[in-house]
A and B are shown apart, each in its own frame.
Chain A
Amino acid sequence: GQSLEQPSEVTAVEGAIVQINCTYQTSGFYGLSWYQQHDGGAPTFLSYNALDGLEETGRFSSFLSRSDSYGYLLLQELQMKDSASYFCAVPNQAGTALIFGKGTTLSVSS
């Protein structure tokens, strides 16, 4: 089967840096995605890593190590608006739908 593990909660202050880890177990691997979901809102795509290494998009970066079945989302210069849930996800074995982790709730305080 496929499963993903990520911390349930992370807290940080404005301006800080936070890292949200994700470990996965999959039958076949296509890549690791990250989604952001504000309370009551729709999940929105943040990043996708198919190859090892770091991908940077503005204040957010995502890292993947396929040999360790591990990835992380790095959020820099935290702002209050970054308070949300963050989900890692991998395509299912068929490479069609996504399997999501249970999400990490990030709370940013001033």
Chain B
Amino acid sequence: GAGVSQSPSNKVTEKGKDVELRCDPISGHTALYWYRQSLGQGLEFLIYFQGNSAPDKSGLPSDRFSAERTGGSVSTLTIQRTQQEDSAVYLCASSFPPGTGTSYEQYFGPGTRLTVT
């Protein structure tokens, strides 16, 4: 079946502009996550959606970042007034509810590489 897809794969934007990044999770996965990966670094948790529950936004670095998930499927991460430090790869992942079964396995998309000039 299809994996997690993200678009665009690359985005170059000017400082101060808004950007929208899209994630289409695996069908049937109720949990969706956004992470950020800066060059040579680990993955930094941003936000988590599970079904119709209120999202866990505890990882969002500032109020310029927001995300929504429509119909329990597709998610959009929006960054307003982009700054150069926002340059990173933004990864989306999906899974069954965390802890289901015996693992916390997450399935990642290919990411969107954001460059703010």
Contacts and interface: CB of A to CB of B under 8 A. Distances in A.
Given A45-B106, A94-B56, A98-B106, A30 B42 contact: no
A100 B106 CA distance: 12
Interface string B30-44: 010101000001111
Interface string B67-110: 00000000000000000000000010100001100111111111
Contacts of B16: none
B110 A45 contact: no
A42 B111 contact: yes
Q: Which of A89, A92, A96 has the most CB of B within 10 A?
A: A96
Given A33-B103, A42-B91, A98 B108 contact: no
Contacts of A97: 33, 45, 48, 56, 59, 98
Interface in B8-59: 31, 33, 35, 41-45, 48, 50, 56, 59
Interface of A: 30-31, 33, 41-45, 48, 50, 87, 89, 91-92, 94-103
Given A43-B93, A96-B50, 15 more contacts: A31-B103, A42-B91, A44-B108, A48-B104, A50-B102, A91-B104, A92-B45, A94-B56, A95-B98, A95-B99, A97-B98, A98-B106, A100-B44, A101-B42, A102-B41
